[in-house]
Amino acid sequence: MNRFVFVHQLVVVRARLSEAMVVGKANSMEHGATLDDSRSGSSFTFTGRLRSMRFAMRGIRTMLASQHNAWVHAGSTAVVIATGFILRVDRSDWCMLILAMMAVWTAEALNTAFEFLCDVASPEFHPMVAKSKDVAAGAVLLSAIGAAAVGLLVFVPHLTRIF
């Protein structure tokens, strides 16, 4: 890639990110924030926290609506919780299971946000964007493998006692 093409791509990405930031600021103002609120961060009110929770819940709904793997995680979460209750795992096992499930959900949410940002910054295919999306998806896979290992460590001893 020659220097001109590279610089041109940087300018295009910067312009798209600037546009996304303007749209994001407009969206935050649409949700009741003012320019002063978004800059200063000094507005800490109960209603502001409720509004933030509403935005967070909308983000979770967006993740569930747009990501097929989120449904796989939801099913796995339901199975783990049901199995934990059926096997009557102790408090420390619950802590490990909850941390493992939250690691997967957090990785999936960050991956989803990252994909949305990449799609804004580079709507057309770009090999570096594809690589970065692959790395983010790999982080979700790593957390899911770790969660499966925790599940085995917790559940196998309980299951071997039953069978």
Note the pLDDT tens digit of each residue in 1-20: 555 555 556 566 666 666 66
Instruction: Report yes or no: 155 and 90 within 8 Å, Cβ to Cβ.
Output: no
Active-site pick, 19, 30, 108, 115:
108
* Mean pLDDT value of segment 63-74: 96
- In this model, does residue 36 exceed pLDDT 50? no
pLDDT of residue 20: 62
The arrangement of secondary structure in 67-162, i.e. its CATH architecture, is Orthogonal Bundle (1.10)
pLDDT in tens, 104-161: 999 999 999 999 999 999 999 999 999 999 999 999 999 999 999 999 999 999 999 9
Q: Distance between alpha carbon 125 and the CA centroid of its chain, in Å?
A: 22
Judge whether 30 counts as a catalytic residue: no
pLDDT in tens, 69-110: 999 999 999 999 999 999 999 999 999 999 999 999 999 999
17 is written with which tokens? 């990110």
Long-range contacts of residues 101-105, Cβ cutoff 8 Å, at least 24 apart? 101/76, 101/77, 101/147, 103/143, 103/146, 103/147, 104/73, 104/76, 104/140, 104/143, 104/144, 104/147, 105/73, 105/77
Predicted TM-score (pTM) of this structure: 0.74
Instruction: Report yes or no: 101 and 77 within 8 Å, Cβ to Cβ.
Output: yes
List the domain boundaries for the chain.
Answer: 67-162
Q: Report the largest interatomic distance among the alpha carbons of the chain, rounded to a whole angstrom.
A: 68
pLDDT of residue 44: 84
